[in-house]
Structure 1
Amino acid sequence: MNNDMLSQDDIDNQIPDAGGDGTAAASVAISADALKVPLTVVAEQISTVLITVLGKEIKVTIKSVAPSDAKRLEPFAADAVLIKVDLLQGVNGPVYFVYSKKDVAVLADLMMMGDGSAAYEEDHKDAITELTNQIMGAVVSTFGTQFEEHVAMGSSSIEDFKPSAPVASNSQYAEMIMKIEDVKDATFGMLIPNEVAETLIKLSSKKAAAPAAGAKPEADGTAAAGGFDFGDLGGGSDAMPMQNFSQPTGHHLANDKSSQFTSTGNPQIDMLLDVTLQVAIELGRTNMSIKKILELGPGSIIELDRMAGEPVDLLVNDKVVAKGEVVVVDENFGIRIVKLISPEERLKNLR
């Protein structure tokens, strides 16, 4: 009997926050303000990726964060899609994006160089899924940079949204507003299962320690050629981000004087240091028939031989010398090196 009374106390304590089932108890410990920290990263990366892909001024803001319930999801009850993205390693579990089909059509049409006025079609599901993959690739990379925890992105899937779906309960709901230049504002949501929300909060709590850790390579003077401490970057993210790169302490742009390479130790080789070579970044390759090439047009999508999230190749004179992650430096594309062979090996590859 005493055990029954204790169990009833637990249930009573859950009533203000729960939707009627015992698993909702986890929401009691979830702070909306704490969850906004990692969600702010998501909002920033959505803005950055959309600016790059759509070529318009875009700003994404978080309107509210609260436990999910039927009332908050009511705007998506009629016509909406649910995109599931699995997170791996540092965060094990899925996150979900909920878009109205009307807004999916707007984004898909803008991706196809339209004006955002197209009606929704089933083909738009592929476009919004690909866009979400790019966004989450940028997000997981930024998590690794800011929170010092390697997070990888797994598979993604899309389906019509049903408010009765299990994910609609026992989750935190973040309502976000997307302001797009010359287009009506769009509202979309993120559903974060409580267990994943708790992990994200713990992950983001490392943010305060990140600047001190980032400053260490510069403070003790240990840096490999090019100004990077590759011992720290060896376990870099598998994601392929497109994000604002603010040149954190201990990392340098290639033309930064503080990262200049001075000598190989061999005078004869040093004479070649001012020779200019062609540098290229290879995202991936594929083979296409002449028929397929002739069918290409604005908005066509070409699938490459590289998985989403894989590092890209840095080639010097068509020889791979490093692998890295795509970033955005101010308004230009760049690459953050995550793996680099030694100067001697690089020189051999260039022969």
Structure 2
Amino acid sequence: MAERLLKQEEIDALLGAQSQAEPSVADTSAAATGVTLTAQEEDALGEIGNISMGSAATTLSELLNQKVIITSPRVEVTTEEALLRTFTVPYMIIKVRYTEGLAGISLLVIKMADVAVIADLMMGGTGENPPATLGELEISATAEAMNQMMGAGATALAEVFNRTINIAPPEVSIFDVEGQKKLPLEFGDQIVVVYFRMTVDELLNTEIMQILSVETAREIAALLWQNYLPEAAESTSSAPKEEVPSGAGAARESAAPVHAPGAQEEPVLSVASVPVDQRKLELILDIPLKVTVVLGRTRRSIKEILSLGPGSIVELAALASEPVEVLVNGTLVARGEVVVVNENFGVQITSIVTPQERLQYLAQHK
């Protein structure tokens, strides 16, 4: 019997039936939840993650006496079920409840193998030979470190939002992939996960997670845009209002007032108005930070990169008169000019990048 070739319609039908019968296990995207965040909300959460986790990294660095960097936030809307399918090893979960300034809870999730390294450092070890199993003492030591990290993160949020933010004592639990099927959540199945890359000197290069409810994530994003870019916060609001009244939402009503007599006036951010505990500040003044100066950037094809050799010139997408960028731990903080000091290259700072300018840059480049 001659074989009959399938028509394109029949092929499409078969593929469609297969995709419905066998959903992808790795599908943790927003398409699986039906809920999405706007690009501005994701940018705001990433910026807040950089600020709060940067402060948490500073605290952990002091506790461990090691260089700690937490960077590269990546925001994803997913479901608890889809996230748990990616868990293949035990995790420590630190649950933080906001008692003032924000509503809801936040979960910090870290692998138990990484917890063992942190515990070894907390107990005076080198971190190179962490214990295979953790006892109550090691877990308590790590929980204390996580407690101080989350407290530092909450303090950073309070300074950014210019409002008081308090948290209850964190609750620590161990998630065993063999015996547990649920996270200690208090909201619906749809969640927002912010992934961070954490490095501890040369001992750890891992990924940690922060889990929020969609409502809490949107509240945080709205507060950030409202404090620094009221016009951007207005554009992300679901209500079609042209002004910026106080009734734009519960999160907006509870936010710290922005003193702007007219909606058309440019908001002014006063960093000096944020109270800072001088004693706490002195504790971190000796922590080293990596300062990088970027002359310029460019894009080249793989062929051009492979053809590079001694004497090759790479032209940057920057004019000779343009200021260079000064980055601290990968974050743009200032711009300046290249100078020569005692036969060494240096940078003379010409301008400091304010948080408002950083957010305006994000809004303009999305």
Give the TM-score of the pair, scaled to structure 2.
Answer: 0.50
Is contact 2:57-2:69 (8 Å) kept? yes
Equivalent positions of 1:195-344 (< 5 A) are 195-208=215-228, 248-249=271-272, 326-327=280-281, 328=283, 330-331=285-286
Task: Check whether the contact 2:30–2:78 (CA below 8 A) recurs between aligned residues.
Answer: no
- Determine whether 1:58 maps to 2:68: yes
1-structure distance, mates of 2:198, 2:51: 15
Find the aligned partners of 2:87 and 2:99 in 1 and give their Cα distance.
28
Three-state SS of the structure 2 residue aligned to 1:155 is coil
Q: Shift of the alpha carbon at 1:75?
A: 4.9
Structure 1 residue 184, shift from structure 2 partner: 3.0
Gap regions ≥5 residues in structure 1: 1-15, 211-246, 254-322, 333-351
1:249 alignment partner, SS class: helix
User: CA offset at residue 206 of structure 1?
Assistant: 4.1
Which of 194, 214, 219 pairs up with 1:174? 194
Could you say which residue in structure 1 is the equivalent of 2:94? 83
**1:17 matches 2:33:** no
Distance 1:66 1:29, change over 3 A: same
Q: Does 1:165 align with 2:183?
A: yes
Change over 3 Å in CA distance of 1:329–1:203 after alignment to 2: same
Secondary structure of residue in 1 paired with 2:48: helix
1:178 shift after superposition: 1.0
Residues 88, 151 of structure 1: 8 Å contact kept: yes
Do residues 190 (structure 1) and 202 (structure 2) align? no
The residue number in structure 2 matching 1:99 is 110
The question of whether the paired residues in 2 share the 8 Å contact of 1:178 and 1:186 is answered with: yes
SS across alignment from 1:145: helix
2:307 corresponds to? none
1:46 positional shift: 2.0
Aligned equivalent of 2:134: 121
Residue 148 of structure 1 contacts residue 206 of structure 1 at CA under 8 Å; is this kept in 2?
A: no
| 8 A contact 2:193–2:212 mirrored in 1 | yes
Q: Cα gap change, 1:109/1:85 in structure 2, threshold over 3 Å: closer, same or farther?
A: same
User: 1:252 offset after TM fit, Å?
Assistant: 9.8
Q: Is the 8 A contact 2:46 2:73 kept in 1?
A: no
**Equivalent residues of 1:96, 1:192 under 8 A apart:** yes
Q: Pick from 32, 42, 45 the counterpart of residue 35 of structure 1.
A: 45
Q: Secondary structure at the match of 1:129?
A: helix
Q: Could you tell me which amino acid in structure 1 is paired with residue 71 of structure 2?
A: T
Q: CA deviation at 1:130?
A: 1.3
Alignment partners' CA distance in 1, 2:197 and 2:284: 25
- Deviations 1:142-195 (CA, angstroms, capped at 9, x unpaired): 222221121101132122224533749311111111111131312211111111
CA change 1:192–1:249 in 2 (3 A) is: same
Distance 1:177 1:73, change over 3 A: farther
CA distance in 2, matches of 1:149, 1:81: 30
Please say if 1:49 is aligned against 2:4.
no
Matched to 1:132, the amino acid is M
- Per the TM alignment, residue 137 of structure 1 is displaced from its structure 2 partner at its CA by 1.5
- The residue identity in structure 2 corresponding to 1:143 is L
**Letter paired with 1:165:** L
RMSD (Å) for aligned C-alpha atoms: 3.2
Distance 2:162 2:102 in 1: 12
Contact 2:69–2:198 (CA under 8 A) maintained in structure 1:
yes
Counterpart CA distance in 2 for 1:151 and 1:251 is: 13
For residue 77 of structure 1, report the CA deviation from its aligned partner. Answer: 3.4
Do the aligned residues in 2 keep the contact of 1:62 with 1:176 (CA within 8 Å)?
yes
Q: Deviations over 1:273-328 (max 9, x none)?
A: xxxxxxxxxxxxxxxxxxxxxxxxxxxxxxxxxxxxxxxxxxxxxxxxxx986234
Whole-Å separation in 2 of the counterparts to 1:177 and 1:163:
25
Deviation at 1:125, TM superposition (A): 2.5
Q: Which amino acid aligns with 1:194?
A: V
Aligned equivalent of 1:341: none
Distance change (3 Å), C-alpha of 1:118 and 1:196 = same
Residue 110 of structure 1: which of 121, 136, 146 is its match? 121
Q: String of CA shifts for 1:235-277, please: whole Å, max 9, x gaps.
A: xxxxxxxxxxxx9435899xxxxxxxxxxxxxxxxxxxxxxxx
CA distance in 1, matches of 2:223, 2:209: 21
Q: Distance in 2 between matches of 1:18 and 1:93?
A: 24
Give the secondary structure class of the aligned counterpart of 2:69: strand
Q: Relative to 1, partners in 2 of residues 1:169 and 1:29: Cα closer, same or farther, differing over 3 Å?
A: farther
User: Secondary structure in 1 aligned to 2:272?
Assistant: coil
How high is the TM-score relative to the length of structure 1? 0.52
Which residue number in structure 1 is paired with residue 17 of structure 2? Answer: none
Equivalent position amino acid for 1:128 in 2: T
